A and B are shown apart, each in its own frame.
Chain A
Amino acid sequence: MKLIVLLPLLGFLLNGLLGNRLGKRFVTVVGCGLPIAAFAVALKYFFDLRAAGGAPIVEVAYTWFAVGRESLEIAFYFDRLTAVMALIVTGVGSLIHVYSIGYMKEDKSYARYFAYLNLFLFFMLMLVLGRSLLVLFVGWEGVGLASYLLIGFWFEDPAKAAAGKKAFITNRIGDAGFLLGMFVLYTALGTLDMDRINAAFMATPAPAVSASLVGILLFIGACGKSAQIPLHVWLPDAMAGPTPVSALIHAATMVTAGVYLVARLSGVYLHAPEASAAIAAVGLATAFFAATVAVVQTDIKKVLAYSTISQLGFMFLALGVGAYGAAIFHLYTHAFFKACLFLGAGSVIHAMSGEQDIRKMGGLAKKIPITFWTFAVATAAIAGIPPLSGFFSKDEIVWFALASSRGGSALLFAVAAPTALLTSFYMFRLLWLTFLGKPRMSPDVEHHVHESPGSMTSVLVILAVLSAVGGFFSIPHALEAQLPLPALAEGMDRFHYAVVGASIAIALAGLAGAAWFFGAGAARAERVRLAWPVANRVLSGKYYVDEAYEALIHRPLLWISERVFLGFGDRRLFDGTLHALAALGRGAAVVLGRVQTGSLQLYALLVLAGIVGALAWSLRNV
């Protein structure tokens, strides 16, 4: 199993150290070949797992360090959940690597790009394969690093470099919670192996530590990585990176690490109803608010970014009501359709010579048909049109939000259903404004619109097919043995078909709404916009969260640093003390310096007086 992890690392080293010298062909073969090889190895382990009837495969790679009798080892753990994650990461990852060949063809830092991408895969696989929380944490930090490097890939632009920094720093806040959670767990249980932690919480007597405390602390970490309120602000800015990076890291894989963490430690969360309730609340709030913001965004990638935040919110909602399998199911379908959407957006941007504003698009469907059809399939999938994959996974989440015996309630359903409607609405709005209607770009740009090369469109087609049929492979069923779905609350059975019907109706209503608003020009949408100026401004301003953080955290911190730490602490206290000491020395030197008159005779006289004095004293006393 080491091989799965080490292959991308090898790619990173080869491309990072030799890539620039050995040319593009070498970089392409290494950069794409090794992830595909890793996928093949992961597939082999998947079949081994099936053959073994689902018994986890454990492999100790290396003993990291030993402290007293305890030793921490780098061990890999392959069970059903790992299998799903590893296959998504290597599979979708490989596809996006292939897509990048065409997308990054002209870039002068081609080798560096593939090196970073391989580095990301290495850390992401450490994250999903690690048995111990510590190994997971190494991967967790590593993907953060790779994300930082790739968001700021075009670091000549200060705004992009700043976006990378913002992502990194926001994640640090979450990581503080993660670390504290790990400390608490280790102090209480003496182990960080996640299967042992789950077993310890499942056993009686329960461990002497509050599961909710651990749950909340680890969830803070998950909030940072998976962009949940209040740490969601970095993800929209992260769109500064190259589009395939947004697809891989900021949609399909890395941001789902938080979901994976909670699902992996389901043993803890099953015993932490308070933490679970908090997760459900935060997830649902994030899903709803991000969806409302997505409705008014005009940058094609920003719409998708808010959509990602919103879908992650849905996943956390599922985790919060105990439907871990449903969350992983949505994670899996989301990886396909969101990767397809982002890569489609990349293809659009490629065709539009770098334009990202959907107000300046329109009518692209005929010019770039493959991109259009794949984008349309993925849009329908995320909107939840049956029988595409998103329908199954989202329906499952909405159903458990209502019916789960572990915290499902009508209130959660009452918010989740409109959020699903918004999802469908903003996605079809995006489809309409980008591909349908009349072209709104300048004739110059219109003239240059062209379909992307085969290496890009073939990936789009594969992902579109997966988005369409992925839902028929029922992940919750496959994970049932490991992550059982929660029991239904009493008397909820009879509502099941009503909820399925409502889901379909909601998806179609979103489609109809978008068609009505944006089908005949944008005049109707414009009227709504003018009728509700305040709402529009608040949504366009993304609820002013960034501005609030700026005013509440950034400015006071700056003030404290400037006035208290720099002005008083550094300048007054430290510098002042040292300056006072120096002045004391200088003053003493002035006084003592007077003794050095420079008159040799005086010195001789003093020496004489001294000798005489010493002799006189010794005559009398000795």
Chain B
Amino acid sequence: MDSLQLLGWSAVVLFALGLLGVIIRRNVLVMLMCMELMLNAVNLSLVVFAQRGDPAAASVLVFLVFVVAAAEIAIAIPIVLLLVRHKRSLDLGSYSDLRG
């Protein structure tokens, strides 16, 4: 197995871990981190595939995704903080106010 393939597989594993975390963990902060993990797994796969094709464009794209991810987390963290301050809990179960 060459290194590119290894990196590709590790991207898959990272994504699966992130997804698993979002689905089974109930702590809001941890879920947020898992989402970031998924995002970066996708980023990694982007880099890997870029090595096989046109490297310059893909590298630019990766940096763009970084910027978007930074912006996203800059908004998501304050939202989570406000939620936590509101309910004094990190447990997702206490946020199901709109349940039918």
How far, in whole Å, are A38 and B23 apart by their CA atoms in the complex?
A: 95
Interface residues of A in 586-622 (CB under 8 A from B): 592-601, 604-605, 608
Q: Does B58 contact A (CB under 8 A)?
A: no
Residues of A near B26 (CB, < 8 A) are: 601
Contact call B100/A595, Cβ cutoff below 8 A: yes
How far, in whole Å, are A296 and B80 apart by their CA atoms in the complex?
A: 94
Contact call A596/B23, Cβ cutoff below 8 A: no
Interface residues of B in 2-36 (CB under 8 A from A): 19, 22-24, 26, 31
Select one of B24, B95, B100 contacting A596, CB under 8 A.
B100
Contact call A598/B23, Cβ cutoff below 8 A: no
Contact call B24/A597, Cβ cutoff below 8 A: no
How far, in whole Å, are A541 and B93 apart by their CA atoms in the complex?
A: 82
Residues of B near A604 (CB, < 8 A) are: 19, 22-23
CB distance from B24 to the nearest CB of A (A): 7
Contact call B23/A597, Cβ cutoff below 8 A: no
Residues of A near B54 (CB, < 8 A) are: none
Contact call A598/B99, Cβ cutoff below 8 A: yes
Select one of B23, B96, B100 contacting A605, CB under 8 A.
B23
CB distance from A590 to the nearest CB of B (A): 8
A608-B23 contact, Cβ under 8 Å, with A600-B92, A601-B92: yes
How far, in whole Å, are A487 and B23 apart by their CA atoms in the complex?
A: 111
Select one of B92, B96, B97, B100 contacting A594, CB under 8 A.
B100
Select one of B19, B24, B31, B97 contacting A598, CB under 8 A.
B97
Contact call B22/A597, Cβ cutoff below 8 A: no
Contact call B99/A596, Cβ cutoff below 8 A: yes
Q: Does B98 contact A (CB under 8 A)?
A: yes
Select one of A592, A594, A598, A601 contacting B98, CB under 8 A.
A598
Contact call A601/B100, Cβ cutoff below 8 A: no
CB distance from B98 to the nearest CB of A (A): 6
CB distance from B95 to the nearest CB of A (A): 8
Residues of B near A605 (CB, < 8 A) are: 23
Residue of A nearest to B97 (CB): A598
Q: Using an 8 Å CB-CB cutoff, how does the interface string of B26-61 with A read, 1 for contact, 0 for none?
A: 100001000000000000000000000000000000
How far, in whole Å, are A442 and B59 apart by their CA atoms in the complex?
A: 117
How far, in whole Å, are A608 and B24 apart by their CA atoms in the complex?
A: 13
Contact call B96/A593, Cβ cutoff below 8 A: no
Of the listed residues B98, B99, B100, the one surrounded by the most CB atoms of chain A closer than 10 A to its CB is B100
Residues of B near A592 (CB, < 8 A) are: 100
How far, in whole Å, are A604 and B95 apart by their CA atoms in the complex?
A: 15
A596-B92 contact, Cβ under 8 Å, with A601-B24, A604-B23, A608-B19: no
CB distance from B14 to the nearest CB of A (A): 16
CB distance from A612 to the nearest CB of B (A): 11
Residues of B near A595 (CB, < 8 A) are: 100
How far, in whole Å, are A600 and B24 apart by their CA atoms in the complex?
A: 10
Contact call B100/A593, Cβ cutoff below 8 A: yes
Contact call B22/A598, Cβ cutoff below 8 A: no
Contact call B96/A597, Cβ cutoff below 8 A: yes
Interface residues of A in 557-601 (CB under 8 A from B): 592-601
Interface residues of B in 66-100 (CB under 8 A from A): 92-93, 95-100
Residue of A nearest to B96 (CB): A598
CB distance from A596 to the nearest CB of B (A): 4
Residues of B near A599 (CB, < 8 A) are: 92-93, 96
How far, in whole Å, are A604 and B96 apart by their CA atoms in the complex?
A: 14
Contact call B22/A596, Cβ cutoff below 8 A: no
Residue of A nearest to B22 (CB): A604
How far, in whole Å, are A493 and B22 apart by their CA atoms in the complex?
A: 120
How far, in whole Å, are A594 and B100 apart by their CA atoms in the complex?
A: 5
Residues of A near B23 (CB, < 8 A) are: 601, 604-605, 608
How far, in whole Å, are A594 and B99 apart by their CA atoms in the complex?
A: 8
Of the listed residues A593, A594, A598, A605, the one surrounded by the most CB atoms of chain B closer than 10 A to its CB is A598
Residue of A nearest to B35 (CB): A604
Residue of A nearest to B93 (CB): A599
CB distance from B79 to the nearest CB of A (A): 14
How far, in whole Å, are A605 and B31 apart by their CA atoms in the complex?
A: 14
Of the listed residues B19, B23, B92, the one surrounded by the most CB atoms of chain A closer than 10 A to its CB is B23
A597-B92 contact, Cβ under 8 Å, with A604-B23, A608-B19, A608-B23: no
Residue of A nearest to B31 (CB): A600
Residues of A near B95 (CB, < 8 A) are: 598, 600
How far, in whole Å, are A597 and B22 apart by their CA atoms in the complex?
A: 17
How far, in whole Å, are A40 and B99 apart by their CA atoms in the complex?
A: 85
CB distance from A354 to the nearest CB of B (A): 73
Residues of B near A593 (CB, < 8 A) are: 100
Residues of B near A601 (CB, < 8 A) are: 22-24, 26, 92
CB distance from B19 to the nearest CB of A (A): 7
How far, in whole Å, are A598 and B94 apart by their CA atoms in the complex?
A: 9
CB distance from A608 to the nearest CB of B (A): 7
Select one of A597, A600, A608 contacting B100, CB under 8 A.
A597
How far, in whole Å, are A597 and B93 apart by their CA atoms in the complex?
A: 10
How far, in whole Å, are A592 and B23 apart by their CA atoms in the complex?
A: 23
Residue of A nearest to B25 (CB): A601
How far, in whole Å, are A593 and B100 apart by their CA atoms in the complex?
A: 4
CB distance from B99 to the nearest CB of A (A): 3
CB distance from B15 to the nearest CB of A (A): 11
Residue of B nearest to A598 (CB): B96
Residues of B near A598 (CB, < 8 A) are: 95-100
Residue of B nearest to A599 (CB): B96
Residue of B nearest to A601 (CB): B23
Residues of A near B92 (CB, < 8 A) are: 599-601
How far, in whole Å, are A601 and B24 apart by their CA atoms in the complex?
A: 7
CB distance from A600 to the nearest CB of B (A): 6
How far, in whole Å, are A593 and B24 apart by their CA atoms in the complex?
A: 23
Knowing that A598-B98, A608-B23 touch, tell me 8 more A-B residue pairs with CB under 8 angstroms.
A593-B100, A595-B100, A596-B99, A596-B100, A597-B99, A598-B96, A599-B93, A601-B26
Query: Can you give 22 A-B contacts (C-beta < 8 A)?
Result: A593-B100, A595-B100, A596-B98, A598-B95, A598-B96, A598-B98, A598-B99, A598-B100, A599-B93, A599-B96, A600-B31, A600-B92, A600-B95, A601-B22, A601-B23, A601-B24, A601-B26, A601-B92, A604-B19, A604-B22, A605-B23, A608-B19
A residues whose Cβ falls under 8 Å from a Cβ of B: 592-601, 604-605, 608
Closest 3 CB pairs of A and B: A598-B96, A593-B100, A598-B99
